[in-house]
Structure 1
Amino acid sequence: MGAMIRGASLRGFARLVEELGGVPGEFTARFSIPPQALASEAGLVPITSHDLMLDAAARDLGCPDFGLRLAHGQDLGILGLLAPAVQASSTVRQALECAARFMFVHSPALSVGLEPDPRGRREVVALTYRKDLRESPYSPQATELGLGLFHRVAVALVGSAVGLRSVELPHPPLSPVSRYTEFFGADVKFGCPAAALRVERRLLEKELRGTDAAVRRLAVDRLAALHTDPEALTATHVRRALTQAVGAAPVTVGQVARLLALHPRTLQRRLAAESTGFAEILEDVRRDLALRYLTTTDLPLGQVAAMAGFADQSGLSHAVRRWEGASPSEVRRRVRGIG
């Protein structure tokens, strides 16, 4: 299974779509997202489908600030078990470190971090929000949702937006610039290397109002006990290697084992201990790549087949029918709301 995200990220989606005159169920069906994902925040949905749905809703409903509107109705609670650990942190720095360590619980494709100021100011740091583009394509609306929520959580923890120097987004403005400055209460720059909140460095040591060392320790221990960091799994590294290699040449377990400096039998034993196998991961990677190219590009089907590791277009067609119950062309039209 490709990268997922907790259904909590869609909190408020149905209500917002209805307010804009749309039908939530039509969007979930179009992107093969179970309808219950809009009601059960603990469930997981494919992050690519999640993000494509946000972009489509914004486009089809004529709402360019869809992501920002969705963020306005959300709070730290969408992070589930991670929320109390962040809330009980002693300082902004500690809260950010906790969020960075366990963000994979919300989605392994997303990360937050602390980086030097991209504009070179020593008294300023960047609180970054990134998506791993090896796992899923870039989505402007999902980025605005994520950074908008990041901003709301920061303000809720600190108590005000004082210290925010500016906001950075990688894409061009989707709405009038005034909409962004109204939401963030600060200058917003576009076409930047990463989505980020530029804040005064001194804010990192600001003490939080809800600090509670015992609660934080219990929350962190529970997170560590219930969730394994994907980076610690052999399957994660195999999947990453296959994502980069599929479509370039036939890939074997021996080749991937050498790349990871393992004996093939050792690699297979480790995957079995993680309740998976090489063939299963390869099938999943080919599925993700094929559906990604079908739904996010206009590439000819023959080229999609080659890039997803199929010998020919017929192989792609048989596989997509098995996965989606429809032809590649039908999947492409469905996602784009055509026909």
Structure 2
Amino acid sequence: MDTLNNLALEVPILSARYALRFVQFMESRGVKRHTILEKTGVTEDMLNNPEGSLSMTQVLTVLGKADWLMTDERAAFEFGQQLDLPSHGLLGFAVLGQENPRRLVSMIVQYLRVGLPLMDMELASIGSTFRIRLVDTWGLGSLLPCLTKIYMGSIYRVSSQVCSHFTFQFDFPTTTSEQDWKRLAPDSEFEFNAEVSQVMMPLTGIPIRQDDVSLEFLVARTRHDRKQNALEADETALQVRELVMSQPGRPCTTENIARRLDISPRTLRQHLASAGTSFRELRNEIRENFATLYLKDTNVPLESISEKLGFSDQAGFTKAYRSWTGMTPGDVRRQARQKK
């Protein structure tokens, strides 16, 4: 098992654009670039390569040096606040979620679970309030507070257009006053030494802006809505859609979804049939949408995408994707790179 874990640490998983932005952020705070990169295995060529990716070992080494050099424990949260939708390659989500803020939050969380796989996120909702819990899947040790604050800062940035208030809870202490933390996010509450690290945020219902929307995502939205119109008349189908989008992997089965909705699998199937769809059709449509976005906008390996979307292996994912689109995942990724 240790050998497998060590191998996983060396697999390129994070786009170099994140590392470049982080180094630039540290430079803006007076830290020289060579000081951060020295003995990390990360080179200038890697940072400037738009197709490049860093391994978890390289990410942790860079973060470790930077965390030691940071003089303000709020700095990691501030860096996260710089990671807006364009930084994550998420411009199109402003369109995909315009009429349904709940869907926007769900899709952003699912996208970040694959595109920024340094921590996992568990999404839940009660009424109009969302809760996003951060989960350490790598054993981050002393770097856990740093990465947690980066994630929280970015969640605040990308969700602030549809959420009115944020309550941040961190499972570690702080030496900085709450007043100083609130200067970073005036519409928020900060709690430390909590049981878990999570953020709770109610939706505002404010329409989402359409800044910098690409034609590609407009077309995707049009195709998406052709099947969505029939579903919107049925509340059960909408709830199923949100649950599938928050967790489209292997745990997402008819039985599990029915249990979460407190109905029987048979009743669930009947409701979906009345809405003109089925669980399999709905889940595959969401998988196709996510897969296409991952392939076009990230350098995440196909194996990781297939695992996150619930396939037992890459071959199964490739076969399914070809049946949905008539193209292989490799074809889609190559075409996307040629357009850049």
Which of 131, 150, 153 matches 1:145? 150
**For 1:214-240, what per-residue CA distance to the aligned partner results, in whole angstroms no more than 9, with x for missing partners?**
344687563265564627459x99xxx
Match of 1:88 in 2: 96
Distance 1:83 1:51 in 2: 28
Percent of paired sites with the same residue? 13
Structure 2 residue identity aligned to 1:29: E
Match of 1:26 in 2: 35
Distance 2:196 2:87 in 1: 23
Distance 1:89 1:77 in 2: 15
CA 1:166–1:230 in structure 2 vs 1: closer, same or farther (change >3 Å)? same
Q: Is the 8 A contact 2:114 2:305 kept in 1?
A: no
CA-CA distance at 1:151 after TM superposition = 0.3
CA 1:225–1:153 in structure 2 vs 1: closer, same or farther (change >3 Å)? closer
Distance 2:314 2:220 in 1: 35
Which ranges of 4 or more aligned residues in structure 1 deviate by more than 6 Å?
A: 270-274
Structure 1 residue identity aligned to 2:192: F
Q: How many residues align?
A: 230
Match of 1:133 in 2: 138
Q: Is the 8 A contact 1:55 1:142 kept in 2?
A: no
Matched, 1:13 2:83: no
Query: What SS does structure 2 have at the residue aligned with 1:32?
Result: coil
Match of 2:200 in 1: 198
CA-CA distance at 1:188 after TM superposition = 0.3
Query: What SS does structure 2 have at the residue aligned with 1:30?
Result: coil
Query: What TM-score results when the alignment is normalised by the length of structure 2?
Result: 0.55
**For 1:14-60, what per-residue CA distance to the aligned partner results, in whole angstroms no more than 9, with x for missing partners?**
33333333221232232222333433454211234324423432322
Structure 2 residue identity aligned to 1:43: G
Query: What TM-score results when the alignment is normalised by the length of structure 1?
Result: 0.55
Match of 2:169 in 1: 168
Query: What SS does structure 1 have at the residue aligned with 2:92?
Result: helix
Query: What SS does structure 2 have at the residue aligned with 1:142?
Result: helix
CA 1:74–1:11 in structure 2 vs 1: closer, same or farther (change >3 Å)? farther
CA RMSD of aligned residues (A): 3.7
Matched, 1:208 2:278: no
CA 1:128–1:37 in structure 2 vs 1: closer, same or farther (change >3 Å)? farther
**For 1:226-284, what per-residue CA distance to the aligned partner results, in whole angstroms no more than 9, with x for missing partners?**
564627459x99xxxxxxxxxxxxxxxxxxxxxx9xxxxxxxxx79999xxxxxxxxxx
Please list every run of 5 or more consecutive structure 1 residues that lacks an aligned counterpart in the other structure: 238-259, 261-269, 275-339
Distance 2:102 2:130 in 1: 11
Q: Is the 8 A contact 1:100 1:111 kept in 2?
A: no
Q: Is the 8 A contact 1:51 1:139 kept in 2?
A: no
Which of 47, 52, 55 matches 1:38? 47
Query: What SS does structure 2 have at the residue aligned with 1:208?
Result: coil
Matched, 1:223 2:293: yes
CA 1:68–1:37 in structure 2 vs 1: closer, same or farther (change >3 Å)? farther
Distance 2:291 2:29 in 1: 42
Matched, 1:71 2:80: yes
CA-CA distance at 1:189 after TM superposition = 0.8
CA-CA distance at 1:207 after TM superposition = 4.3
Distance 1:223 1:42 in 2: 16
CA 1:179–1:17 in structure 2 vs 1: closer, same or farther (change >3 Å)? same
CA 1:209–1:195 in structure 2 vs 1: closer, same or farther (change >3 Å)? same
Query: What SS does structure 1 have at the residue aligned with 2:167?
Result: strand
